Amino acid sequence: MKTIHRSILLRLLSVWLLLTPLAVGLGYWIEVRKFEEDLVALVSQHLESVSAGVQDDDVGDKTRYRATREFVSRNYLFMRIIDETGKVVAEGDNPVHEALTGKLRAQFAPLPQDGRRHVSRLEIDGVTILRVAVNLPAGLSGRKRSLEGAFIIDAQELQQQRDRLRRFLGAIVLVSLATTLALYPVILSLNRNVLRASREILQGNIETAAVLGAAIAKRDSDTGEHNYRVTLYAIALAEKVGLEREQIRYLTLGAFLHDVGKIGIPDAILLKPGRLDETEFATMKQHVGLGLEIIANSRWLAPAAEVIGNHHEKVDGSGYPQGRRGEDIPLNARIFAIVDVFDALMSKRPYKPPMALEQALEILRAGRGQHFDSALVDAFCDIADERYRALCDLSETALSKILVAHVSRHYL
């Protein structure tokens, strides 16, 4: 469940990281456009007033008018008024900025005079300049006119713009992050029933596999404890050698169902107390193929095939059914072969008493490089004493509870 929660949160944050630059870019464009529009409006207001012959006392918002006039008179490089025929009817340069105006005129193309507003921003000698072309009111003559001008955006105004931009973009980032995090519990709430159902289905599948394996084990040896113990031993060895969670899940399924094919072996052979003859042993070996057939139509059980089909292989190639050698045998099958033999040696059977721990470990060590993977035997011997003493006296019910806890750690 924690993995699902983490996955949802990581996906939401990934979407946030993907969309935030787009939102910030759009916000930046909007804020820059707003700044330019405010500046054009400021200039236009003054020029409209001037062109209509309006005096200070005639303007309702005198403070704003004076600020506009001061900005224009202080910051303009040049201004010119053009009539509807394209003729310049009035123009003037600011003598304070004569050198900068000369450089500007040397490198800019005239803005279009098409009746629409145009804005162009550029840098000259580290100075930010805004060029504008706007329509002016028709005035008493009724003729259409336009203004073209260039204005310096001073450092104070630029800093104010940057401050506003930072605040605006910061707000976008925070709001988008807050929205993303707010969606997290909403999505969890909407999917809670789905998650619960998925967990119950998974738990049911695991329990079904465990019960089926235990049922087969009981048919073979009158006890399901073997199946639970070998699965716990296999998980412990897999964790010891650092297998990934996915591989441990596959190993667990294989351990549950390693002998599922024995359901098709006759009782006379399966329950025979003595050694099997050659014909009987040939029949017994068929349980591997039968087990693979049983799980063949289940996609969920398919990963168990590594153990079911290979747990009787030996690293020297003398095993069955295919005589595989060394690392040609899947790792999960090599792990399971060790714990399966170990528990068989340590268990009471109709034809033998349980073996002493050190004697069983000596048999495993003697099989290094022949029956078993040497490195895996060494790893198992490091944990065998502790694991055996923890599990050897437990009932089938107690083993089942421990197994559920271990399996849940890797599946849920």
* Tokens read off for 315: 């690293």
The answer to whether residues 333 and 310 touch, using CB atoms and an 8 Å cutoff, is yes
Decide if 373 contacts 168 (C-beta within 8 A): no
Which residues have CB under 8 Å from 304's CB, separation 6+? 209, 250, 253, 254, 256, 257, 258, 295
Q: Bridge-partner residues for 92, per DSSP?
A: 79
Q: Which residues are catalytic?
A: 262
Contact 173, 25 (CB under 8 A): no
Please name every residue paired with 147 in a beta bridge, in sequence order, or none if there are none: 81, 134
HSE-up (13 A, CA, CB side) for residue 365 = 10
Q: Determine the Cα–Cα distance for residues 241 and 371; give it in Å rounded to an integer.
A: 19
Strand order in the sheet with 76-83: 88-93, 76-83, 145-153, 127-136, 118-124
